Amino acid sequence: MLFMTCCHEKKADYRTKIDDQMRAQQIKDMRFGMFICWSFSTFSGQEWTPTLDKDVSYFRATGCDTDQWCKVAKDAGMGYILFLSKHHDGFCLWDTKTTEKKVTNSPLGIDVLARLRKSCDKYGIRLALYFSEGDWNWPGAVDGKGYSAGSGINPEMKKAQLQELCTNYGPLEFFWMDHAVGDGGLSHKETVDWVHKFQPNCFVGFNHGEPAGRLCLREMGRPGPVNDTTASVYNKGAEASYKGYLAAEFTYPILPEHKGGAMWFYSLPEHDNLCLPAEKIYQDYLGAVKYGNIFSIDVGPDYEGRLRDIDVETLLQVGRYIRGEDRIPGIQ
């Protein structure tokens, strides 16, 4: 599979390293993307879903409409999809050989990542992956708790999972590494080096923990230049001291604050009419453009594997603002 650059539309093998600054510009040029969170928590009605008492049948999705995800992303003016490949529950959304806790063993029976890759290629959308570095199935972890209660350690499985993702699903723009259950026994620097062994142009970022990689992650953050600590929430220390960042990403959920249910995943049917306004999302898009950031707005597909109607309507409105078809008074 070939990798196409943003700037000059030249094709190159994505396994051949290119200049860091050129690659950073390609990342920045993506500007806006859709973060998709879909796993056990979709069906639990809570953000973190303990996993040791659950098997793959807990993932009860009745469908998987990756074409819908990608078409909405395209029409919303997005350049990429950031897809959750594995959350802290350890449930893999690809056909891994490392565990039986995977989507192809679930009632859905589909390699969701493979299907998404095809849809991304069909609609001209690039692909990035979220990956929980540790998970609650690994030795040392405390089910349902973060690394302060216990870190899941299994460095060889972490390496094997990342190798599968890097070698079986085409070019990946970046990894969004979640440190919530620890680093899995493989340091962040070692993690970056391992990913670059297979995809040297893939940026790697970590939401907190040991600073490493070329991409600064700002979970629940806002637009701002690289090393602007005021734009970060959980990564302020790294932004203040680490000098290796070449680009910054920020992300937050499309759901506003509410009582009960999840934020990053599909919440509960009673929240189906809750959504941030398109105007706020568009203003943060403009901030991303101003500072050369990339902005990942998070949405959670529902039980049928489709985006909520209100999310679709909101994102399509953002797309109209981006294309200049509609305008907000006072905002250029």
Q: What is the pLDDT of residue 2?
A: 35
**171-219 tens-digit pLDDT:** 999 999 999 999 999 999 999 999 999 999 999 999 999 999 999 999 9
Q: What is the pLDDT of residue 332?
A: 61
| More confident of the two residues 153 and 4 | 153
| Distances in whole angstroms, Cα of residue 168 to Cα of each of 91, 113, 173 | 18, 10, 14
Q: Report whether pLDDT(6) > 60.
A: no
Q: What is the pLDDT of residue 9?
A: 41
Q: Report whether pLDDT(10) > 90.
A: no
**28-43 tens-digit pLDDT:** 999 999 999 999 999 9
Provide the pLDDT confidence category of residue 232 given band limits of 50, 70 and 90: very high
Q: What is the pLDDT of residue 8?
A: 36
Phi then psi for residue 295, to 5 deg, are -120, 115
Residues across the chain? 332
Q: What dihedral angle (degrees, nearest 10) is formed by the CA atoms of 277, 282, 287, 289? A: 160
Phi then psi for residue 131, to 5 deg, are -150, 125
What's the pTM value of the predicted model, to 2 decimals?
0.95
**319-332 tens-digit pLDDT:** 999 999 999 987 76
Phi then psi for residue 158, to 5 deg, are -60, -45
Q: Are strands 2-4 and 11-13 parallel, antiparallel or unpaired?
A: antiparallel
The C-alpha atoms of residue 234 and residue 239 are separated, in whole angstroms, by: 10
Across 217-226, average pLDDT: 98
Percent of the chain scored above 70 by pLDDT? 96
Per the CB < 8 A criterion, the answer to whether 123 and 70 are in contact is: yes
Q: What is the pLDDT of residue 12?
A: 59
The C-alpha atoms of residue 330 and residue 332 are separated, in whole angstroms, by: 7
